[in-house]
A and B are shown apart, each in its own frame.
Chain A
Amino acid sequence: MSTPLLEVRDLCVEFATPAGALRAVDGVSFTLQAGETLALAGESGCGKSATASALLRLLPPGGRIISGDIRFEGQSVLALEGEALRAFRGRGVGLVFQDPVGSLDPLMTVGAQVEEVLRLHRRGSRHQTRAAALALLARVRMPDPAGQARLYPHQLSGGMCQRVALAMALACEPRILVADEPTTALDVTIQAQICALLRELQAQTGMALLLVSHDLALVAGMAARLAVLYAGRIVESGPTAAVLASPRHPYTRGLVAAMPGLDRRPGRLASIPGTLPDPTRLPSHCRFHARCDVRIERCGVENPPSRDAGPDRSVRCFVDPPAANPTPEV
């Protein structure tokens, strides 16, 4: 097996809060090969955004990577400083955020912002940079690149701004694109367009895509592999189709069951009872224990390790779901 493009091992991220240290990411490990799409899924507060931010060493103030390793093309990201870190950002890994309008500078035209990023990563005259910027905007399928490049973010719709953000990320020609809830703030129809665009760009550039989302339907359509996070840990991972078709972890099962589908009979939506554990006081036993419907005694005592559950699948649970348990159709 070739060296994975990105390798994350036992990543732990903590935030300092008035209530104490908050461990947002607790021992997350995954790999990403060149060109593949991996989705990190989970509800709000599960640590997926913190993981994505940590990859670029861009944690919000108060956040720290306290242990673990992140390796990009074999090199440790955590050891990078100064110039090397800057070069890694944007060249190695690119990032697209959830709020498209808010992630752009309100006082600069979108064209100027794309040019700014281009100028950092490529040499060229003013003229060449401008042409390259327009080409990028065309590539992200903006209807009128020349005209829209002169506009300010507040004059464009959310979908257009997200395209601009994509253009800026692409300007760096990254090997991996991290998309943190890229479509959450957009309408459903625009969501579909942006997803199609992402797939197209991926095919063109061969870059890997790390998709962070709480939307399982989106994930199903975009990602080849899926890792489900809960309370800072990966509780299940594997090929998306397999995981969603026959989830092994009770949490994943709950998530899949909770998805409303057009082909199901109308009735009460299934939900997972209970709430996330207090992140400042995590239990030393299984974190899903309080909400789990198949728990055994052992679950209340120890923390289950991640174990193999089939080809290229892993699950973090002591209980192997019996075949009699009905699994919902997806």
Chain B
Amino acid sequence: MLWFVVRRLGIAVVLLVGLLTLVFAVLHALPGDPAERFLDPDADPEVVRHARRAYGLDAPLPVQYGRWLQAFLLRRDLGHSFATRQPVSAMLREAVPHTVLLAGTALVVRLALGIALGTWAAVRRGRGVDRAVLGAALVLHSIPAFWLGAMAILVFALGLGWLPVSGMESLDHARLTPLGRAADTLQHLMLPMLVLAAGGIASTARYVRAGVLAALAHESVRTARAHGIPERRIVLRHALRNAMVPVVQLIGLSLPALVGGALVIETLFAWPGMGRLAYMAIGTRDYPVLLATTWLSGVLVVIGSLLADVAAAMLDPRQQLA
């Protein structure tokens, strides 16, 4: 088991470097001079030349690449924002936990509801519940998240006034008690989190349903029944557990979409996370921020996949052989 984790960690590290390389390659493959992009388009050419030297953009590509790797990975220096002059790493340190909170809770809700609905649909196969779950899965999979969010805001925030329209905190957040602050954040979290989770609930349910049906068809279920083991235990302890393995792996595969979806949701709900940071950086042409957030989005996915793989291996020892 330990060896398996070490091996996966090694792959993850290699992947992180690879991601960084990819971002670097994309940047330099695109038409346009980085120096001109990094600076005021109306700047004096002399200033541009000076800046180019200062930013090290006149060095040969491999040297730039090396410096980049060094800065990002060893010194954890992600540059400075053009717009706010703050170090990017500081900005991200503040923003990333918010994204993790949003995406993390959405993932948990998605899993919990998806597993419950999927199992229910599997044991009631062919009946109304099953059809409803499958139908809902198809529809939710096709609804654009930003539209669902906009409609949710329209109905629940503006129309019914149940939940706040946007943001993470109310204006008087700082003056609330710790419990009050938590409740306030939770209230603001509700709508964006549910919208982010919505699409995924249905597809998770579909996967779980397939997994449970496959597990129930396994010979070992017949054996368990033959020994008189109660049906409930068979479904929950045997079938569901077996079905969980591909579902956990699915988590890893769905992470890119989750983090990407967080970007849109954060922008819509003005949630101060990494995605919103990236979006605003486009408006101000703040490339250091843009680069760092892009790379970090990949990092989050890689870390999440690693965790999912380890979880799968814990559930099913056969995975360690892969």
Residues of A within 8 A of B (CB): 56, 58, 86-91, 94-95, 97, 99, 102-108, 116-117, 120-121, 152, 154, 165, 168-169, 171-172
A172 to B, closest residue via Cβ: B227
- A58 in contact with B226 given A106-B242, A154-B318 (CB within 8 Å): yes
| B317 within 8 A of partner (CB) | yes
Residues of chain A within 8 A (CB-CB) of B241 are 107
- A117 in contact with B219 given A105-B242, A107-B241, A152-B317 (CB within 8 Å): no
Residue in contact with B228 in the complex, picked from A86, A152, A154, A165, CB distance below 8 Å: A86
| B173 within 8 A of partner (CB) | no
| B142 within 8 A of partner (CB) | no
Task: State A248–B311 Cα separation when bound (angstroms).
Answer: 62
Minimum distance in angstroms from A231 CB to a CB of chain B: 25
Minimum distance in angstroms from B39 CB to a CB of chain A: 58
A117 to B, closest residue via Cβ: B227
Q: Are B227 and A103 in contact (CB under 8 A)?
A: no
Closest CB pairs A-B (n = 8): A90-B228, A95-B226, A89-B228, A90-B227, A102-B219, A103-B223, A105-B220, A103-B219
Residues of chain A within 8 A (CB-CB) of B218 are 102
Residues of chain B within 8 A (CB-CB) of A105 are 220, 224, 238, 242
Task: State A99–B222 Cα separation when bound (angstroms).
Answer: 12
Residues of chain B within 8 A (CB-CB) of A88 are 228
| B316 within 8 A of partner (CB) | yes
Q: Are A165 and B225 in contact (CB under 8 A)?
A: no
Q: Are A86 and B230 in contact (CB under 8 A)?
A: yes
* Main DSSP-derived SS at the B contact region: helix
- 9 A-B contacts, Cβ less than 8 Å apart? A89-B226, A89-B228, A91-B228, A94-B227, A95-B227, A106-B316, A117-B227, A168-B227, A169-B226
Task: State A107–B317 Cα separation when bound (angstroms).
Answer: 7
B232-255 near A? 1/0 per residue, CB < 8 Å = 000000100110010000000000
Minimum distance in angstroms from A222 CB to a CB of chain B: 21
B233 to A, closest residue via Cβ: A116
Residues of chain B within 8 A (CB-CB) of A104 are 220, 223
Minimum distance in angstroms from A63 CB to a CB of chain B: 12
A57 to B, closest residue via Cβ: B225
Q: Are B242 and A168 in contact (CB under 8 A)?
A: no
Q: Are A120 and B228 in contact (CB under 8 A)?
A: yes
Number of A-B contacts (CB under 8 A): 70
Task: State A97–B224 Cα separation when bound (angstroms).
Answer: 11
Residues of chain B within 8 A (CB-CB) of A95 are 223, 226-227
Number of interface residues of B (CB under 8 A): 20
Minimum distance in angstroms from B134 CB to a CB of chain A: 19
A168 to B, closest residue via Cβ: B227
B230 to A, closest residue via Cβ: A86
Task: State A165–B316 Cα separation when bound (angstroms).
Answer: 21
Residue in contact with B223 in the complex, picked from A86, A91, A165, CB distance below 8 Å: A165
Minimum distance in angstroms from A179 CB to a CB of chain B: 12
Task: State A121–B219 Cα separation when bound (angstroms).
Answer: 22
A90-B227, A168-B223 given. 5 additional CB < 8 A pairs?
A94-B226, A95-B227, A97-B222, A106-B318, A169-B226
- A116 in contact with B229 given A107-B316, A154-B318 (CB within 8 Å): yes
Minimum distance in angstroms from A160 CB to a CB of chain B: 16
- A58 in contact with B242 given A86-B228, A89-B228, A172-B227 (CB within 8 Å): no
Q: Are A89 and B227 in contact (CB under 8 A)?
A: yes
Residues of chain B within 8 A (CB-CB) of A97 are 219, 222-223
Q: Are A107 and B228 in contact (CB under 8 A)?
A: no
B234 to A, closest residue via Cβ: A105
Q: Are B226 and A106 in contact (CB under 8 A)?
A: no
Minimum distance in angstroms from B225 CB to a CB of chain A: 6
Task: State A116–B245 Cα separation when bound (angstroms).
Answer: 21
Of the listed residues A89, A121, A171, the one surrounded by the most CB atoms of chain B closer than 10 A to its CB is: A89
Minimum distance in angstroms from A74 CB to a CB of chain B: 20
Q: Are A103 and B229 in contact (CB under 8 A)?
A: no
Residues of chain A within 8 A (CB-CB) of B316 are 106-107
- A106 in contact with B228 given A152-B317, A154-B318 (CB within 8 Å): no
| B23 within 8 A of partner (CB) | no
Minimum distance in angstroms from A16 CB to a CB of chain B: 13
A86 to B, closest residue via Cβ: B228
Task: State A90–B316 Cα separation when bound (angstroms).
Answer: 28
Task: State A165–B226 Cα separation when bound (angstroms).
Answer: 11
Residues of chain B within 8 A (CB-CB) of A58 are 222, 225-226
Minimum distance in angstroms from A242 CB to a CB of chain B: 32
Minimum distance in angstroms from A147 CB to a CB of chain B: 16
Residues of chain A within 8 A (CB-CB) of B245 are 107
Task: State A106–B316 Cα separation when bound (angstroms).
Answer: 8
Minimum distance in angstroms from A94 CB to a CB of chain B: 7
| B143 within 8 A of partner (CB) | no
- A103 in contact with B318 given A87-B228, A90-B227 (CB within 8 Å): no
